[in-house]
Amino acid sequence: MRNQVQLIAYADRLGGSLPALTRLLEGPLAGLFGGVHVLPFYLPYDGADAGFDPVDHRTVDPRLGDWADVRRLGRSLDVVADLVVNHVSDRSAEFRDVVERGGRSPYAGMFLTYGRVFPAGATEDDLARVVRPRPGLPFTPVLLGGRRRLVWTTFTSHQVDLDVRHPAARRYLSEVLRRLAGNGVTTVRLDAVGYAVKTAGTSCFLTPETVDFVRDLTAEAHRLGLEVLAEVHAHRRHATDMARRVDLVYDFVLAPLVLHAVFTGDCGPLRAWLLRRPAGCVTVLDTHDGIALVDAGPGAEPADTGLLSGAQLDALVSTVSANSGGTSRTGTVPGRVDGHYQISCTAYDAVGGDDRRYTLARLLQLFVPGIPQIYYVGLLAGHNVPLAAPDGDAREINRRAYPEADVTQALNRPVVRALTRLIRLRNAHPAFGGAFTLADAPPGELRMAWHAAGARADLWTRPADAAFRLTVTEGGDTRTITG
């Protein structure tokens, strides 16, 4: 992945299709991004989990385009695509065959059941230990060949978990990898990979067996010329450990620390993180899932201290709720009354639609080491979408659809123009290919710098006042940006 800003977008919600997304990236968005992460475009893109429940992971949904459209994107940009490692749709041909024929199906071993993990049964403690990002136990009763079985469903009842150690499941994942590599994809994002291998007597999340699986899958991807980006939502120690196994990991910790600094003026937690974060990070402030919190807070284990305390996260959540006029929603860690998981809110509404604070938050994201990814709604400084129903998927708050004409209109807003100028500066200035320095600064301030031969970029900021000064030097020419 090249050292330039990347875009994250749904093809159906930014333009409406793969060809329309390409037109935007080659037209009004030309030169802004070094790559694009196209969120699931597989068949179907609009299932139970917005494409993360593929019926056929090897086929582009024809309503969005085809593999030729993916290859066209890859001619000028790095393309990131999801490998949904953990599960497939319960409407997939392979699972429907198992439903029909049970153990006589050639895919019978491809899907995980309660009995496969707990052949001798499980105690209450065994089941209570299992980690799931949803309330309740991860099992759904299904008739397989006429026999009632408990199928493992980590996410929704329509997303059936794979037994990734079974040959049929590994052949399936290998086929998907080859399809992606053969159609211009340069980086594969391992979605929900922390849940891949379930082992009795453990939390079934990021087990040693899962780490071994990630190592083997990464080696296979490398043989195909693919980079590997791992998605791990958990206490920061898990991502730090995973960073040693793959090419890239998300820095989900950054967003809550930046917001905390902007809201309170307390730069200490952000500074502490910048001194210890792993190399090979993709930085984000917002994604299709929302604004992460769990990664920066305390974990379930006593040794898992947080960069932000529970009280600080409570305050952050309250501030975002007030800033957004009460339209944001906050998810909690299942089984923990004190655990915030993520906020469903646009990054722009999280800072109350304050253009200067929003510009500062993005400037901090673009300045810290790593490869910045900007979510399409964040790029256009979008507002929250009201939920169609009170019990609907809260993540839809931050998944606004932009037809091509609406994108052009949004790009004319002053806050969006400011952001696009910063993106172009981050992409083009040679200092960002050099060395990073975090300098000493008084409490409530941050000083950071990038420098390469003959080029510098220096940032001073006092987040509580949304005050910043960016000074860039290249070829003897110096200019300063303060707004």
Q: Are residues 130 and 44 in the same domain?
A: no
Q: Are residues 362 and 293 in the same domain?
A: yes
Q: H-helix or E-strand containing 402?
A: strand 402-403
Is position 409 within any domain?
A: yes
Question: What pLDDT, on a 0 to 100 scale, did the predictor assign at position 336?
Answer: 61
Which CATH number is 400's domain given?
3.20.20.80
Is position 230 within any domain?
A: yes
Q: Are residues 55 and 110 in the same domain?
A: no
Residues of the chain whose pLDDT is less than 50? none
Please, are residues 99 and 142 in contact by the beta-carbon 8 Å criterion? Answer: yes
User: Does this model's pTM top 0.85?
Assistant: yes
Number of domains forming the structure of the chain: 3
Is position 42 within any domain?
A: yes
Q: Are residues 171 and 319 in the same domain?
A: yes
Q: Are residues 215 and 301 in the same domain?
A: yes
Question: What pLDDT, on a 0 to 100 scale, did the predictor assign at position 389?
Answer: 78
From the candidates 49, 191, 289, 458, which is the catalytic residue? 191
Is position 273 within any domain?
A: yes
Q: Would residue 191 show up in a list of annotated catalytic residues for this protein?
A: yes
Q: Are residues 16 and 155 in the same domain?
A: no
In this structure, the strands spanning 6-9 and 371-375 are parallel
Is position 69 within any domain?
A: yes
Is position 454 within any domain?
A: yes
From the candidates 231, 247, 289, 396, which is the catalytic residue? 231
In this structure, the strands spanning 78-84 and 187-191 are parallel
Which CATH number is 116's domain given?
3.90.400.10
Q: Are residues 326 and 380 in the same domain?
A: yes
Q: Are residues 313 and 250 in the same domain?
A: yes
Can you give the residue range of the structural domain that contains 303? 6-89+166-434
Please, are residues 435 and 444 in contact by the beta-carbon 8 Å criterion? Answer: no
Q: Are residues 456 and 401 in the same domain?
A: no
Where a domain ends, among 133, 161, 189? 161
Q: DSSP 3-state assignment of 483? A: coil
Question: What pLDDT, on a 0 to 100 scale, did the predictor assign at position 233?
Answer: 87
Is position 393 within any domain?
A: yes
Is position 1 within any domain?
A: no
Question: Cα separation of 280 and 369, whole Å?
Answer: 9
Q: Would residue 161 show up in a list of annotated catalytic residues for this protein?
A: no
Give the tens place of pLDDT for each residue, 317-368.
Answer: 999 999 999 999 998 876 565 678 899 999 999 999 999 999 999 999 999 9
Question: What pLDDT, on a 0 to 100 scale, did the predictor assign at position 410?
Answer: 97
Residue 363 identity (one-letter amino acid): L
Q: Are residues 77 and 225 in the same domain?
A: yes
Q: Are residues 418 and 473 in the same domain?
A: no
Where a domain ends, among 131, 161, 191? 161
173, 177, 410 from 20: Cα distances, Å: 29, 25, 16
Q: Are residues 370 and 358 in the same domain?
A: yes
Burial class (CB in 10 A: 0-12, 13-18, 19+), 374: buried
Question: Cα separation of 163 and 110, whole Å?
Answer: 5
Its sign, for the CA torsion 66, 68, 72, 73, is positive
Contact residues for 142 (Cβ-Cβ < 8 A; gap 6+): 90, 99, 148, 149, 150, 151
Question: What pLDDT, on a 0 to 100 scale, did the predictor assign at position 339?
Answer: 76
